[in-house]
Amino acid sequence: MNWLERLFEAQLTIGSSHILWREVVGNVFGFASAIGGMRRRVWAWPVGIIGNLLLFTVFFGVAFANPQQQTLYGQAGRQVFFILTSVYGWWRWQEHRKARGADAPAITPRWATVRERAGYLGVWVGGVLIGQWVFATIGAAWPAPRWYFWCDAWIFVGSMLATYAMARGWNDFWLMWIAVDLVGVPLLWHSKFYPSAVLYAVYGALVLYGFTVWLKASREERDPQRELTEAMT
């Protein structure tokens, strides 16, 4: 098992910074998943799950040693919920693709309804209020300031909702990711998770482009099986 341990603990050194290759590879899978999501391909979900598993071991430093010597509970916890939500999205997109053909995009995007939007905004606000209290109670295994827990809760809840909105095929999910990145990139950089911070900054540009792609599709395409969409709410 020595070669597996060496592979798991392998690091990239840039100047005085030590970066786990797991963080780099996990983010590459995440970026590939984002591209697949933009193209509305079912394979985006399993690819994303692999990245989530790798990044969980990076951010959950209390159990898996990392060079930052920090545990980001919100970042680690959201990888778990990413996996759970991705299983749902994988199933949902697969069911839609059966009605559309293997070569067609899995879903037709649309805007969330007023009721759906009010629902996820309410969950976001409530989730942040509860999340920051939970994270502060657990602690960060280092003397983290209070603002850190608010940021971590914002990222945690927003990421969950964005992934769910992607599974539902809502255009809103791109805007959710922008809101998450505006807080997530500075926090990751501050915590010295540089590959993740850089990737999320680059991902921000992809999000803006993906939003225009989905917006155009929602205006031009017609869902060939609207009944299935409504039945799977």
Query: What share of the chain has pLDDT > 70, as a percent?
Result: 77
> 10 or 102, which is more confident?
102
Residues paired with 14 in a beta bridge = 17
Rounded distance, CA 113 to CA 123, Å?
Answer: 15
Phi, psi of 39 (to 5 degrees): -85, -5
Q: Decide: helix, strand or coil at residue 210.
A: helix
Higher pLDDT, 184 or 2: 184
pLDDT class of 187 with cuts at 50, 70, 90: confident
Distance between CA atoms of residues 177 and 182, nearest Å = 9
Coil/strand/helix, residue 34? helix
Higher local confidence (pLDDT), 203 or 68: 203
* Whole-number average pLDDT of the chain: 81
Rounded Cα distance between 202 and 199, Å, is 5
| Torsion sign across C-alpha atoms 223, 228, 231, 233 | negative
pLDDT band at 228 (very low <50, low <70, confident <90, very high): very low
Does 168 score more than 90 pLDDT? yes
Q: Kindly state the helix (H) or strand (E) to which residue 211 belongs, with its residue range.
A: helix 194-220
* Bridge partners for 19 per DSSP: 12
Q: Is a pLDDT exceeding 50 seen at residue 131?
A: yes
